[in-house]
Amino acid sequence: MTQEYIDAPPAIKLGTSTAQVGTAPPVAKDVTYERILNAREGEPQNWISYYGNYDGQRYSLLDQINTENVKRLSPAWVFQFGSQGLHAGPSTYAFEATPLVVDGVMYVSGWDGWVWAVDAKTGKQLWQYKHAIPFDVSLCCGNVNRGVAVAEGKVFVATLNAHVVALDAETGEALWDTVHGDVRAGESATVAPLVVKDMVIVGSSGGEFGSRGHLDAYNINTGERVWRCYMIPKPGEPGSETWPADGEAWQRGGGNCWVTGTFDPELNMLFWGTGNPAPDFDGEVREGDNLFTDSVVAVDVDNGTIQWHYQFTPHDLWDYDSNMESILFEQDGRKLLAHFDKNGYFFVLDRTNGELVRVTPFVDRITWGEIDANGNVTPKIYPEKEGENVHFYPGPAGAKEWTHAAYSPRTDLFYVPVQDTGSTVARRRREFKEGIPYWGAAVTVDSEDMRGSVTAFSASTSEEVWRWENEIPMCASVLATAGDLVFAGEPSGEFNALDARTGELLWSFQCGSGHHSSPVTYSIDGRQYVAVPVGWGSWVEGFLPGMIGGPHGAGLFVFALPEE
Amino acid sequence: MTTAKREEQVLSEVVSELGLDKQNRATIGRLLTHGGGLAHAEEGSDGRMRATIRIPEDELIYEPSILVMPHGGEIDIELLNDDTNTHCALLPSNGDYVWQWLPNHSRGTVTLDLDGPGYYWYSSNVGNDEGKGLFGAIVVLGDVPAEARLDRPAQPRV
């Protein structure tokens, strides 16, 4: 006898079976370029772009929480999420984002294509978006995403399978979806987009797979590409003389753009860091300086052309990406740029032309080579002979990873999360094959004899002013506020507040999982909050293998002073 | 028969001989995607793709275990639960996961939007259906659009 099927209940979107509200108030509708341009002074209650402001200072004018009362800081709410089913990089997912806050609504991305809108006062989920990510997408460094951009009623996110998606900020529904990269070529995307004018700027990931790095601009209303700027020149283009003339090396040269850049509206320039050359450690197959890898490039935001560049590690043999932020600041009327590179040196450049102003080391142990006061680079220890181990400091994660420093105009100090860890590397040549990791080496990062700090440096002289030391490296972004506080998370879970003037530890809270994200601050109805995503993971084997057993987490903690 | 096909057949025979393709034989459950087979989605003249996936009685698998889409896009999948127990399917789709509850001997329909190329797992996310074998893979073939590819000569692949 044939049994008739009964109708199953209708299929649902998973988010409808949660306590989420389903919609967010229309606060993002009026986020314009002008508002983003004047964000710090114009609306200190918000954090509306990746660094809080185009200058990348990660500094807030909010001062309700200060050195006197920070000891009373307490959790206000916690947003928790977790993994469902079997997703890409199930052992490497981490919560790396910078949350954005617009007039009481928080927009934050997670691992594996998640984006959430959350009530920034209560922690209640408003909506969720999930981009379906292929299980087999190429990820060098974990299932992560560093954040979203918001403008004109839209939330922009780059997905791990290299799409750029614009969401309706009120509902989380996709408005447009543009393919940004080629997953079959090992490309992905983890960067937080940056909105400038009517464009959303997005960089590539995939340097460990021998891709050709690029920075792209898309129209925020249509998703159409406005320009693409490749970071590896083709033969005949400016910079191509730094690649072998008769080879294919440039085609797989790396130079990806996986961390958000900064922007100077007067110069109309983006300052974007580029990643390592490929293969990471085998320089013999790519003789030359390998422009524009390991550089900051000044890009005309209107047409995507490179105006100038400064290369921090020519002919890199140590995996010293230079993606990390370029902080814009002024001194004696001069437009400057500060950059703490993976190679252990603190660079100050004239950002109008890329001229070196000062360069000084910012970590204790640097053995890979030396950079003199004029910027001349002398390599000393590097993988050269096939199969022969060499040990150098800093390791491939760098003296500072992508996680961000901050600058306080009140103290005129930069605050830097420092990693002091070495690594053993042996060159191991391999053929290039599309979609297969292309390192050219065997690598083991030290899991002993390591340390870290938050170190403060004078913006005027680049000299160290104070140092808060930690037994293990510091692997999360820091935040500076006008309350003279520096917030910094530890790999072991503590979230700390330091006195920005002295480095004294004033407050600490154990969040239960390591920090590898970027805290922000905002206020609603006159109450200041500090928010930090917490979720240990990513490429721990590269930046802190001594903590590879650390607990994964997936929470966003928000702190405030007790209400009177 | 090619060497690869012969190796695949030998693997299937060894897996079957050991009982990894059956419930509660070699292991407590059943090794993922072994036994449910592979099927291709049908593509209509409108470009929309369709497929049927069933849960056979007492096997705790999706059949086919591997569903192949010729390219990214929208697909309608009819889910049939022929088992005498209740299961479900949590499936990937752009926008949000799609969740289909499947009581005994029921039929449900889901629509998924998947980019590809690449493959995606889905599963019955109750009890430990997943560990028993109720995991399936959706494979999306094809390439990204030409305008999204890198400007460089064709590169070698494995």
In chain A, what residues touch B113 (CB-CB under 8 Å)?
Answer: 132
Average pLDDT over residues A312-328: 98
| Inter-chain touch B120–A135, beta carbons under 8 Å | yes
Question: Is A137 a domain residue?
Answer: yes
Which position has the higher pLDDT, A82 or B87? B87
Question: Is B135 a domain residue?
Answer: yes
* Rounded Cα–Cα distance for residues A133 and B140 (Å): 12
The per-residue pLDDT for A2 is 65
Q: Which of A135, A178, A134 is nearest to A156 (CA)?
A: A178
Question: Is A2 a domain residue?
Answer: no
Which position has the higher pLDDT, A564 or A285? A285
Question: Is A6 a domain residue?
Answer: no
Q: Tens digits of per-residue pLDDT, A364-409?
A: 999 999 999 999 999 999 999 999 999 999 999 999 999 999 999 9
Of A161, A173, A225, the CB nearest to B115: A161
Q: Tens digits of per-residue pLDDT, A20-68?
A: 999 999 999 999 999 999 999 999 999 999 999 999 999 999 999 999 9
pLDDT band at B24 (very low <50, low <70, confident <90, very high): confident
Q: Tens digits of per-residue pLDDT, A114-146?
A: 999 999 999 999 999 999 999 999 999 999 999
Return the minimum-mean-pLDDT range out of A2-6, A474-478, B64-68.
A2-6
Question: Is A7 a domain residue?
Answer: no
Burial of A143 (0-12, 13-18, 19+ CB in 10 A): buried
Phi/psi at A295 (nearest 5 deg)? -130, 165
Average pLDDT over residues A521-528: 98
Average pLDDT over residues B47-58: 96
* Domain span including residue A476: 14-560
In A, minimum Cα distance to B83 occurs at A5
In A, minimum Cα distance to B111 occurs at A11
Q: Tens digits of per-residue pLDDT, B119-142?
A: 999 999 999 999 999 999 999 999
Residue A162: left if φ>0, alpha if ψ -120 to 50, beta else—which one? left
Q: Tens digits of per-residue pLDDT, B88-115?
A: 999 999 999 999 999 999 999 999 999 9
In chain B, what residues touch A433 (CB-CB under 8 Å)?
Answer: 155-158
* Rounded Cα–Cα distance for residues A510 and A369 (Å): 38
* Alpha-carbon distances, residue A520 vs A106, A170, A429 (angstroms): 11, 22, 43
Question: Is A396 a domain residue?
Answer: yes
- Catalytic positions of A are 319
In this structure, what CATH number is given to the domain that contains residue A169? 2.140.10.10
| Inter-chain touch A129–B109, beta carbons under 8 Å | no
Q: How far is B100 from chain A (nearest CA, A)?
A: 4
Length of chain B: 158
| Inter-chain touch B117–A251, beta carbons under 8 Å | no
The per-residue pLDDT for A502 is 98
Q: How far is A100 from chain B (nearest CA, A)?
A: 20
CB–CB of A425/A389 below 8 Å?
yes
Question: Is B102 a domain residue?
Answer: yes
Continuous H helices in A217-280: none
Residue percentage of chain A with pLDDT more than 70:
100
Burial of A428 (0-12, 13-18, 19+ CB in 10 A): middle
Q: Which of A309, A313, A335 is nearest to A322 (CA)?
A: A313
What's the CA dihedral at A273, A518, A59, A100 to 10 degrees?
Answer: 100
| A375 contacts: CB under 8 Å, gap ≥ 6 | A356, A359
Instruction: Give me the sheet containing A214-219, strands edge to edge.
Output: A194-196, A199-203, A214-219, A225-230
Q: Which of B16, B114, B112, B21 is nearest to B63 (CA)?
A: B21
The per-residue pLDDT for A489 is 98
Of B95, B116, B144, the CB nearest to A13: B95
CB–CB of A264/A239 below 8 Å?
no
Best residue of A116, A136, A215 to probe chain B, by most B CBs closer than 10 Å: A136
Of A182, A252, A431, the CB nearest to B148: A182
Q: Which of A403, A499, A521 is nearest to A52 (CA)?
A: A521
Average pLDDT over residues A242-256: 95
Return the minimum-mean-pLDDT range out of A339-343, A352-356, A528-532, B114-118.
B114-118
Residue B73: left if φ>0, alpha if ψ -120 to 50, beta else—which one? left
Q: Which residue has the tokens 């399936």?
A: B136
In A, minimum Cα distance to B129 occurs at A85
In A, minimum Cα distance to B77 occurs at A11
The per-residue pLDDT for A247 is 84
Return the minimum-mean-pLDDT range out of A171-180, A390-399, A538-547, B1-10.
B1-10
Angle at A60 between CA A54 and CA A193, to 5 degrees: 35
Q: How far is A489 from chain B (nearest CA, A)?
A: 31
pLDDT band at A355 (very low <50, low <70, confident <90, very high): very high
| Inter-chain touch A136–B119, beta carbons under 8 Å | yes
Q: How far is B74 from chain A (nearest CA, A)?
A: 13
Look up the ipTM and state it: 0.95
Residue percentage of chain A with pLDDT more than 90:
98
In this structure, what CATH number is given to the domain that contains residue B124? 2.60.40.420
Question: Is A3 a domain residue?
Answer: no
pLDDT score of A430 more than 80: yes
In chain A, what residues touch B115 (CB-CB under 8 Å)?
Answer: 132, 134, 161, 163, 179
Of B79, B90, B95, the CB nearest to A84: B90
Of B97, B130, B140, the CB nearest to A14: B97
| Inter-chain touch B150–A187, beta carbons under 8 Å | yes
Q: Tens digits of per-residue pLDDT, A445-476?
A: 999 999 999 999 999 999 999 999 999 999 99
In chain A, what residues touch B107 (CB-CB under 8 Å)?
Answer: 5-8
The per-residue pLDDT for B21 is 86
| Inter-chain touch A85–B121, beta carbons under 8 Å | yes
Q: Which two tokens stand for residue A455?
A: 């170190």
In chain B, what residues touch A234 (CB-CB under 8 Å)?
Answer: 151
In chain B, what residues touch A17 (CB-CB under 8 Å)?
Answer: 99
Q: How far is A234 from chain B (nearest CA, A)?
A: 8
Q: How far is B35 from chain A (nearest CA, A)?
A: 20
The per-residue pLDDT for A107 is 98
In chain B, what residues touch A179 (CB-CB under 8 Å)?
Answer: 115, 144-145, 147-148
Total domains present in chain A: 1
What single DSSP character describes residue A373? T
| Inter-chain touch B144–A184, beta carbons under 8 Å | yes
Best residue of A183, A214, A232 to probe chain B, by most B CBs closer than 10 Å: A183
Total domains present in chain B: 1
Question: Is A429 a domain residue?
Answer: yes
Q: Which two tokens stand for residue A83?
A: 């993994």
In chain B, what residues touch A14 (CB-CB under 8 Å)?
Answer: 90, 96-99
Average pLDDT over residues A491-505: 98
* Domain span including residue B103: 33-143
B117 cis-preceded (ω within 30 degrees of 0): yes
User: Taking the alpha carbons of A422, A428, A431, A436 in that order, is the dihedral positive or negative?
Assistant: negative
B64 cis-preceded (ω within 30 degrees of 0): yes
Q: Which residue has the tokens 């009964």?
A: A6
What's the CA dihedral at A263, A269, A270, A272 to 10 degrees?
Answer: -130
Averaged pLDDT of chain A: 97
pLDDT score of B73 more than 70: yes
